[in-house]
């Protein structure tokens, strides 16, 4: 898997690197505010930048703007420095991200359990009025609870006729992304996915397949009898995650 990580260099800048199977180049330097426009899986924050309370509060406030998209891991210089980040390989990036996501997903699952009623009320309000917003919100929710580094959701949507005399059209919408959802009408991929899983939507939510070695999971779900396919790249799938998401989809019926 490819991973994009930001290392906070000082109170205004970060080092940004995408780690792949190929030998990485040098990290890029960005202003912290520019993280909001980047695909990012985690943010590494050195503890020494948090020593002064006022500066620490300002820095935390800046970084929290990205926290919907990525967890922030506080680290010591014994753990990692900017020089070591410069030469870090994909395996090390995976190990750090896996450790970061373990804590992040636990927190997110417990948070969802605590606020399940409010989340369900919000999503149910979107369902009949703004299907695109509904699935973007669901994408974020699933990604943060699964700790997904890549996720795709495919669903059916009734596209209303634009001209008089035309009929409404059933289309396949695919929402893809690493840290941000990108919805699109992808007829070819949508048709292929729904054909592959045709007749297999037996429950409101189920783990259809889980390959621990590859970190690939497929969920099949139904929301008010409308089928939904969820595919994700994850590090782990715990009983807590499965139980929490099962409650979420049961509540969406």
Q: Tell me the CA distances in angstroms from 124 to 129, 133, 143, 169, one per residue in order.
A: 9, 11, 19, 23
Domain limits, the chain? 3-104, 115-251
What is the Cα 235 distance to its own chain's centre? 12
Which H helix or E strand runs over 46? strand 42-46
Residue matched to tokens 């990525």 = 70
Q: Judge whether 213 and 233 are in contact, CB under 8 Å.
A: no
Distance CA 219, CA 209 (A): 7
pLDDT tens, N- to C-terminus, the chain (253 residues): 788 899 998 888 889 988 888 766 678 898 888 877 788 898 999 988 888 877 888 888 888 776 667 888 898 877 888 888 888 888 888 999 999 999 999 999 999 999 999 999 999 999 988 989 999 999 999 999 999 999 999 998 877 766 676 677 778 899 999 888 988 887 778 888 888 898 888 889 999 999 998 999 999 999 998 999 999 999 999 999 999 999 999 999 8
Question: Among 203, 238, 237, 240, which Cα is nearest to 222's?
Answer: 203
Measure Cα distances from 244 to 30, 121, 166, 239, 247 in Å: 37, 16, 42, 8, 5
Where residue 194 falls (left for φ over 0; alpha for ψ -120 to 50; beta otherwise) is alpha
Q: Which two tokens stand for residue 77?
A: 């210089």
In this structure, which CATH number among 3.30.420, 3.30.70, 2.30.30, 1.10.10 belongs to the domain 3-104? 3.30.420
Q: 251: which 2 tokens?
A: 């509540």
Q: Which residues lie closer than 8 Å to 173 by C-beta, 6 or more apart?
A: 132, 135, 154, 155, 156, 157, 183, 184, 185, 186, 190
Phi (first) and psi of residue 94, to 5 degrees? -65, -45
The domain defined by 115-251 carries CATH number 3.30.43: no
């Amino acid at each position: 898997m490819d991973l994009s990580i930001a290392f906070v260099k000082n109170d205004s800048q970060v080092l940004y690197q995408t780690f792949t199977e190929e030998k990485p180049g040098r990290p890029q330097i960005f202003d912290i505010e520019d993280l909001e426009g980047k695909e990012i899986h985690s943010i590494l924050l050195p503890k020494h930048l948090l020593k002064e309370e006022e500066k620490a509060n300002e820095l935390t406030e800046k970084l929290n703007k990205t926290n919907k998209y990525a967890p922030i891991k506080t680290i010591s210089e014994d753990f990692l420095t900017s020089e070591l980040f410069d030469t870090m390989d994909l395996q090390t990036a995976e190990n750090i991200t896996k450790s970061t996501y373990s804590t992040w997903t636990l927190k997110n699952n417990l948070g969802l359990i605590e606020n399940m009623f409010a989340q369900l009320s919000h999503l149910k309000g979107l369902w009949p009025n703004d299907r695109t917003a509904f699935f973007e919100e669901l994408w974020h929710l699933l990604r943060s609870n699964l700790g997904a580094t890549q996720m795709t959701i495919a669903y059916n949507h009734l596209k209303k006729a634009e001209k008089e005399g035309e009929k409404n059209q059933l289309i396949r919408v695919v929402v893809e992304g690493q840290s941000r959802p990108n919805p699109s009408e992808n007829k070819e991929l949508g048709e292929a996915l729904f054909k592959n899983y045709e007749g297999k939507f037996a429950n409101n939510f189920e783990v259809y397949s889980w390959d621990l070695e590859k970190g690939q999971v497929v969920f099949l779900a139904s929301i008010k009898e409308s089928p939904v396919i969820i595919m994700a790249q994850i590090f782990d799938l715990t009983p807590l995650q499965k139980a929490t998401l099962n409650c979420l989809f049961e509540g969406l019926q």
